[in-house]
Amino acid sequence: MKEENPIMTAQDSQRESQPLPKASDWLSPFVSVLRAQGDRLLEAGCGPGLDAATLHTHGFQVVGFDRAPLERARVNAPRAMLLRADLRQRFPFRDGAFDCAVSSLALHYLPWAETRAVFGEIRRVLGEGSAFLFRVNATDDIAHGAGQGEELEPNFYRVADSYQAHFSETKRFFDEAMVRAALAGLFTLEQLEHKTIHRYEEPKRVWECLGRAI
């Protein structure tokens, strides 16, 4: 069990007294970009449904799916259409079914060949010119496992205790070149930013990317 530090500085106290940003605040700057092609939105790896709920309030027709159980997601996002499906299999949607797509911290659990296949599936279900917004682990995300465990592929590790153990016991960490390689031939890159987010107890380093379907 992690021991609590009995000595708290004024800076620590101020930091703890401030609420963390809402989990879905990251979406706000991208709403108009996502809406440019229409409001039919796919969320790949919807997790507890927080982003799906936020996107619905912005007027999107949200279809989300996840391999994990969806009980929490259905409570948090009751108006989204939520499906139980596996990223590693062909998506249960027709070609060009969606106007835009979002995926937050769900695309970094797979071997490289499967990762590329997922990006290919996301491209398949989007129309040409559609926006795809996503976040993935960065290679300097030390607090969340970067460089730890058995390395199976470059920057891809088998971990002993995964945050989402029900989903996978592997984690991938992306550098800029790897993000670009994931998009290659499928999406043009419109925006890429290396960021620190505060979704968890420890700060997390991610790549935040906006692509456009070719």
The secondary structure element, H or E, covering residue 196 is strand 187-197
CA dist 66 and 45 (Å) reads: 5
Give the confidence band of 201 by pLDDT, cuts at 50, 70, 90. confident
Cα angle 142, 148, 154 (rounded to 5 degrees) comes to 100
Is residue 12 predicted with pLDDT exceeding 70?
A: no
Distance of alpha carbon 3 from alpha carbon 100, whole angstroms = 45
Sheet containing 170-172, strands listed edge to edge, beginning at the edge strand earlier in sequence: 150-153, 156-158, 170-172
Average pLDDT over residues 85-114: 97
Q: Which CATH class is domain 21-213?
A: alpha beta
Query: What is the residue type of 28?
Result: S
Domain boundaries, the chain: 21-213
* pLDDT over threshold 80, residue 10: no
Instruction: Report whether pLDDT(70) > 70.
Output: yes
pLDDT tens-digit map of 44-65 = 999 999 999 999 999 999 999 9
What pTM did the predictor assign? 0.85
pLDDT tens column, 121-134: 999 999 999 999 99
- CA 28 to CA 171: how far, in whole Å? 27
pLDDT value at position 8? 32
Q: pLDDT tens across 106-123, in order?
A: 999 999 999 999 999 999
